[in-house]
Amino acid sequence: MKSSEIIKNFENEIKTGKVSASYLFYGDRRVDLLHYALIFSKMVMTRDVKNEVTKLQIEKQIDNLVYPDVEIINKNNGNIKIDEVREIIYETIESSFNSPKKIFIIFGVENLRKESANALLKTIEEPPKDVYFILLSRTLNIIPTIKSRVIKFHLESLSSFELEIDKKTYDFFDGNENDIKSFKKNYLEKNITLESFSFKIKTVEDILKNISEMQNYLFYNSENGNYLDLVIKYNKSIEFLVKEVKFWNMENIYFMLNELEIEVKKNREFLINFLAKIIINAKVILNSENLKKLIEIKNSVRNNVNIRSILFNFFNILYNI
């Protein structure tokens, strides 16, 4: 669904005039879910505001994440604890600050455990008057009782045309909206292109180092380095890996697999994304049979299959292309 279609659906929902409601916005990692949650929040909060100056002030505060009646919860996508849910429920009955309405934007709903979900369920099903929930998830694979009690919006990533970026850059960032917007703002506006970067990526060790730094940043809250630079190094490492792996000797292959197993065995979600990025980069050199095999291996990660076996089978196909 294009951005314009999503906005149109939001506008149609606002026209229904609901006095309270719960929504689920879901889309893969390429989609800036918060961006859409803020757009919808601005629509809700300004629906009955007639004064244009006041309306613009509210919208600016929401965009800057400082509007007191729009609360963002669990932005790091962690597990939401039962005590946090109880605090949310308590806040729904407290008076709002600037507006008669309150909005709770909750990240990581796919990580809600049963106890926390059950505690939140009644409030989501029947929110108090003028209270709105916007639940954000990277998948529709969430607790069924939550899924059945919300209004769902499936959000798809913007195209290269909508992001006003060339196809090569779009593909390099896998269509990730946040990364592309950040790259445009921090580099392209200064006439710095992807070709301007000269990161040293020549060996297996270089690749493993960049993989480790990216994982540490994403999952262990490391602040070592600029995130966008890490993304570019990581993506360039995968490009290099796909291009060069068939020329490596078996000693290099086994070394890489052993180190990768150590690096990712406790973080299967990172491994899934890592393998997915390799598949995206290798699509042009894969036939349909090998592409299907790699996707099946990647998808098996969630089935508690042995990590070493997954890596060996995956790279065996890649090596023999």
Residues 210/214/219/225 CA torsion (nearest 10 deg): 110
Rounded Cα–Cα distance for residues 63 and 304 (Å): 41
pLDDT digits (tens, 9 = 90+) for 169-224: 998 898 899 899 999 998 988 888 888 877 778 889 999 999 998 888 877 655 55
Q: What's the token pair of residue 221?
A: 């809250």
Contact by Cβ (8 Å): 238, 201 = no
pLDDT at 45: 95
pLDDT at 131: 94
Contact by Cβ (8 Å): 93, 126 = no
Mean pLDDT by 10 residues, the chain (321 residues): 83 93 92 94 94 95 94 84 88 80 93 86 91 93 90 91 90 90 90 82 90 82 71 92 90 91 84 90 89 92 86 90 78
pLDDT at 141: 86
Contact by Cβ (8 Å): 161, 32 = no
pLDDT at 194: 87
Rounded Cα–Cα distance for residues 46 and 33 (Å): 20
Element (H, E) at 73: strand 70-73
pLDDT at 285: 87
pLDDT at 4: 81
pLDDT at 42: 96
Rounded Cα–Cα distance for residues 61 and 51 (Å): 16
Q: Which residues neighbour 305 within 8 Å (Cβ) at sequence distance 6 or greater?
A: none
pLDDT at 179: 92
Domains and CATH numbers, the chain: 3-154 (3.40.50.300), 159-196 (no CATH), 198-319 (no CATH)
- Beta strand ranges found along 76-231 (DSSP E): 102-106, 131-137, 151-154
pLDDT at 37: 96
Amino acid at 70: V
Amino acid at 175: G
Most distant CA atoms of the chain, gap in Å? 70
Instruction: Label residue 50 left, alpha or beta by phi (over 0 means left) and psi (-120 to 50 means alpha).
Output: alpha
What does pTM read for this prediction?
A: 0.76
Tokens 């507006």 -> residue: 99
252 DSSP 8-state letter: H
3-state secondary structure 78-94: CCCCHHHHHHHHHHHCC
